[in-house]
């Protein structure tokens, strides 16, 4: 388990904009009980580690906006993409408390652990939310104190209540650039708002970066603000559904005279009809029914003689 990037017994450590490929132990933060509340592990890409990030005997570690990918199997690694555990080296008993895991993308080909918390003591102050998970082989897996947890069981513990399980739709598994913006994150403030640009590469100069804009994006790659986002609030000849993800309500803006839709319908991820509402030219507020649960939905806009408009949204209730 060779350590690729080892920052043990150090405080205020900032680890960002790295690309780690096939590393045994990717990023290691370790101490004898120290607390690092000013450092961060942010905007890194970790591909095929046996262990992505290890938090061992150190508290306050922030893990923000990283992209993890693994095609390992459980036979190749029993570790998690993130491992959090007590440092017992040389008689120590130093748990890792207060770890914060936000706005990351976890993509696994097989059912290996996304997050593995070895000791219940390390749950103290632990926070994890606004992440994107995807496993090609089924439900994403987690482990706590040696017990395997499904995503539903993990949420029942109070974690990732605003996170989603969706395919991030990478262009390829080398650059890990999503085909579209993944606006599922939590705004973490100006200190952490500069990520890897979608066209960032690694050479003799520092990789190109881009600022978060609009709804906070997840993962290491950040799309810059588009021209559409810089237009006026009511652009002409547009059909826009916003925001995405949705909490409680959203809006449908119709300003195209050639596309006068009459009704909006919402379907769940299995294609089942949920509810509908009449829409008109201009701004249409749509309040979500109380019975709708978090998940991926499809909005359709329809009218006689018009091709149906479709839009995927995430609802967080």
Mean pLDDT by 10 residues, the chain (317 residues): 90 96 96 95 97 97 98 93 97 97 97 97 97 96 97 96 94 93 93 95 89 94 72 62 84 88 92 92 89 90 91 85
φ/ψ bin of 22: left (φ > 0), alpha (ψ from -120 to 50), beta (otherwise): left
What pLDDT does 234 receive?
Answer: 52
- The residue extents of the domains of the chain are 3-222, 231-315
What pLDDT does 2 receive?
Answer: 86
163 contacts: CB under 8 Å, gap ≥ 6: 128, 129, 130, 131, 132, 133, 184
What pLDDT does 281 receive?
Answer: 87
What pLDDT does 218 receive?
Answer: 97
What pLDDT does 107 receive?
Answer: 98
φ/ψ bin of 98: left (φ > 0), alpha (ψ from -120 to 50), beta (otherwise): left
CB hemisphere CA count around 255 (13 angstroms):
12
DSSP-derived letter for residue 163 is: -
Q: Please give the class, per CATH, of domain 231-315.
A: mainly beta
What pLDDT does 35 receive?
Answer: 96
The angle subtended at Cα 40 by Cα 114 and Cα 243, nearest 5°, is 70
Question: Where are the alpha helices (H) located in the chain, listed in sequence order?
Answer: 151-156
What pLDDT does 290 receive?
Answer: 85
**Structure tokens, 247:** 């909490």
Task: Report the C-alpha gap between 251 and 65 in whole angstroms.
Answer: 28
What pLDDT does 232 receive?
Answer: 44
What pLDDT does 235 receive?
Answer: 58
**Structure tokens, 277:** 């509402």
Question: Where are the alpha helices (H) located in 75-169, listed in sequence order?
Answer: 151-156
φ/ψ bin of 60: left (φ > 0), alpha (ψ from -120 to 50), beta (otherwise): left
What pLDDT does 229 receive?
Answer: 46
């Amino acid at each position: 388990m060779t350590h690729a990037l080892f920052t043990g017994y150090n405080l205020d450590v900032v680890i960002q904009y790295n690309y780690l490929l096939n590393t045994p132990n990717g990023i290691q933060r370790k101490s004898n009980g120290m607390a690092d509340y000013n450092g961060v592990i942010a905007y890194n890409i970790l591909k095929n580690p046996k262990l992505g990030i290890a938090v061992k005997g150190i508290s306050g570690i922030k893990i923000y906006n990283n992209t993890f990918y693994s095609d390992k199997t459980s036979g190749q690694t029993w570790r998690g993409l993130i491992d959090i555990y007590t440092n017992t080296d040389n008689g120590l008993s130093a748990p890792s408390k207060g770890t914060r895991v936000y706005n990351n993308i976890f993509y696994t080909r097989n059912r290996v652990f996304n997050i593995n918390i070895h000791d219940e003591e390390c749950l103290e102050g632990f926070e994890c939310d606004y992440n994107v998970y995807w496993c090609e082989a089924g439900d994403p897996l987690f482990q706590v104190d040696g017990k395997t947890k499904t995503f539903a069981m993990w949420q029942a513990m109070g974690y990732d209540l605003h996170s989603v399980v969706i395919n991030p739709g990478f262009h390829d598994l080398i650059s890990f650039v999503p085909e579209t913006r993944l606006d599922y994150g939590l705004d973490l403030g100006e200190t952490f708002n500069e990520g890897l640009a979608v066209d960032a590469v690694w050479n003799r100069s520092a990789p190109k970066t881009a600022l978060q804009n609009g709804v906070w994006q997840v993962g290491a790659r950040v799309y810059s603000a588009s021209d559409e986002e810089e237009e006026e609030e009511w652009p002409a000849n547009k059909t826009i559904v916003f925001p995405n993800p949705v909490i409680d309500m959203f809006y449908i803006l119709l300003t195209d005279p050639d596309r006068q839709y009459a009704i909006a319908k919402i379907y769940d991820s299995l294609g089942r009809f949920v509810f509908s509402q009449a829409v008109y030219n201009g701004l249409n507020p749509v309040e979500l029914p109380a019975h709708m649960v978090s998940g991926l939905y499809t909005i359709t806009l329809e009218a006689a003689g018009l091709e149906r408009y479709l839009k995927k949204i995430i609802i967080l209730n």
